[in-house]
Amino acid sequence: MLKKQFSKSKPACKVTFSLPKEAVTKGKTVQLVGEWNDWNEKKAVKMKAAKNNYTATVELETGRNYEFRYLIGKSKWENDWQADGYVPNPFGFDNSVVSVVSVPTVTKKAAKKATAKKSSTKKTTAKKAAPKKATAKKVTAKKATPKKAAAKTTRKVTRKPAVKKVTRTTVKDDLKKIEGIGPKIAEHLNKGGIRTFADLGKAKQTTLKEILAAAGPRYKMHNPGSWPKQAKLADKGNWNALKVLQDKLNGGK
């Protein structure tokens, strides 16, 4: 999650980055790495553990976008779950994007016009309220008689016993264990019919990209190239091999 506070005296913005604790393994440190420190892990900003998140604040020059990622421990990378956008990197994954374009200033004249428009719309809606109620009364009065007649005919019909619907619970796997998949993407995959590691392992790249494209532009930029391979290992319970694969696929820049 990103919170921004633009400076009124200089072209700068203080951005507070936060990553939920559920994304971090216990005992692991979390660091913030991005374009502003040349993706240098030695210059990474250490994030502090709060109640529910790990947070860090960085002052950035406005007028551009910055790519960044979270480094968990020494080898695992994670994206921001609510970044302004995502950009593919050379390692087959995506980098998160934070946009700090300057906020447009609102003049006093524009503010007065906006308040004037709001007051005028309130007056027009108040005038139109009375005729709407009157027409509603007329319609209900005319239709009252046929509704009663219909009620009499329905009494003669014998009621059949209600049949209870049996809902089947579908088993779901935690798709977030796949590198590159966060809670939101996992939710969209579930909606697209991919609920288990087995489903993801059999999924075609075209299908995965269609699901991401349908979810919106912020998800369209994700690269699902390694997801089926990771899912096949997870489906077999081969977690050691999955960890080795994810260590090789780690993306920075």
**Could you tell me which residues come within 8 angstroms of residue 21 by beta carbon, excluding any fewer than 6 positions away?**
49, 52, 53, 54
Residue keyed to tokens 């991005």: 34
Hey, which of 33-37, 125-129, 218-222 has the most confident mean pLDDT? Answer: 33-37
Give the pLDDT mean for 167-188: 82
Q: Say which residues have a Cβ less than 8 Å from residue 207's Cβ, sequence separation at least 6.
A: 192
Whole-number pLDDT of residue 193: 92
CB 12, CB 61: distance < 8 Å: yes
Give yes or no for a contact between 136 and 144, defined as CB atoms under 8 angstroms apart: no
Least confident of 75-79, 153-157, 236-240: 153-157
pLDDT of residue 149: 46
The boundaries of every CATH 2.60.40.10 domain in the chain are 2-99
Partners of 6 in beta bridges:
13
**65: three-class secondary structure by DSSP:** strand
* H or E segment and range at residue 189: helix 183-191
Beta bridge partners of 99: 65
Between CA 139 and CA 144 the distance in angstroms is 9
Measured at the alpha carbon of residue 253, what is the angle toward residues 194 and 209, in degrees to the nearest 5?
25
Reported as a single tens digit per residue, the pLDDT across 140-163 is 445 544 554 444 445 555 565 554
| Averaged pLDDT for residues 118-132 | 51
Please name the amino acid found at residue 91. Answer: F
Give the CA radius of gyration of the chain: 27
pLDDT digits (tens, 9 = 90+) for 9-38: 999 999 999 999 888 877 688 999 999 989
Per-residue pLDDT at 106: 47
Which helix (H) or strand (E) is 3 found in, with range? strand 2-6
CATH architecture of 2-99: Sandwich (2.60)
Would you say residue 80 has pLDDT above 90? yes
Q: Considering only 85-89, 161-165, 195-199, 226-230, which range has the smallest mean pLDDT?
A: 161-165
User: What is the reported pLDDT for 207?
Assistant: 93
146 three-state secondary structure: helix
- pLDDT interval class at 204 (50, 70, 90): very high
Q: Would you say residue 107 has pLDDT above 70?
A: no
Q: Give the DSSP H/E element, type plus range, for residue 222.
A: none
Q: Residue written as tokens 């421990």?
A: 73
pLDDT at 166: 41
